[in-house]
Each structure stands twice: as C-alpha cells, then as structure tokens.
Amino acid sequence: MSRLRLLARNGWEADTGVRAATAQVMAELDAAESILLDALSGSVRREAVAHFLSCRVNRLAIVAEHAAATADAGDLPVLRRLLYQFHALAEAMWRVQLGLQTNTPPPKTGTGGRPQTPATWA
C-alpha cells in the first residue's frame, strides 16, 4: 500500500509499478479471504460472507484495472484519484475481514465432543 501511495504522489514508474503493486495487494487480500472462509467452514454464514467478499473483490479488481490502464495512458491526475480509491477499498476490505474474524466465535464443545448451541454457551 505504501508503494501505491508513493506512485500516487510522485507518479514515477507509474506504468510498471501500478500493475505490480495492485496485484500484490490483491494477492494478500485473496490469501486473507481464503483463511477467513476456511475458518467459517461449516457455518451457515459462510456462503453469505463468501458472496459479500467476492463482490468487494470484484469492485477492487475493476478499480485496479482502471488504474493500470490510466497509468499506461500517463494521466497522472486520474491515476491519483484511482489509486486513492483503490487504497480506500482495500483498507475497507481488510477491516471487513478483520471484523468478521473477531466476530466469529470459536466452536465450543460440550459433553461428548459435540458442539454446543449458543443457548448453552456460558
């Protein structure tokens, strides 16, 4: 993300740096999403969370592609706007992922190793 901020401020090496920097951020977000969805396996929320995150990743990918195309065209003012937008969307995505991770209670086991229902959590 710091590399994207530098590109937005300075504009140097924008044509090659934007694609690499946005791809790196997208890869990190994908890895975090996989970990989160693995943690939610077996949960009734998993499918809804997967769909929600997929929509956000799609929006982020569109902005990343527009930023790369703008960098190729050499339009620094528009590139800056797109990079700030990408940064805001990526940061929001990380916050959502972290919020979902902290709100997911660990499965509790009762007698016999069976999961307890929320009503029996004490």
Asked if pLDDT for residue 119 goes beyond 50, the answer is: no
Calpha distance 32→25 (Å, rounded): 11
Calpha distance 25→91 (Å, rounded): 10
What's residue 94's pLDDT? Answer: 85
Mean pLDDT value across residues 104-108: 53
What's residue 121's pLDDT? Answer: 40
- Torsional class of 74: left (φ above 0), alpha (ψ -120 to 50), beta (otherwise): left
Q: How many CB atoms lie within 10 A of CB 53?
A: 20
Calpha distance 33→25 (Å, rounded): 12
Which residues, including other chains, have CB under 8 Å from residue 95's CB and lie 6 or more apart? Answer: none
- pLDDT above 70 covers what percent of the chain? 69
Closest C-alpha to 53, from 2, 106, 103, 89: 89
Residue with the bigger pLDDT between 88 and 13: it is 88
Give the global pTM. Answer: 0.69
pLDDT tens column, 9-59: 555 554 567 888 888 889 999 988 888 888 888 888 889 989 999 999 999
What's residue 4's pLDDT? Answer: 60
Q: Which helix (H) or strand (E) holds 79?
A: helix 76-103
Burial annotation 54-77 (CB, 10 A radius, 16+ → b, else e): eebbeebeebbebbbebbeeeeee
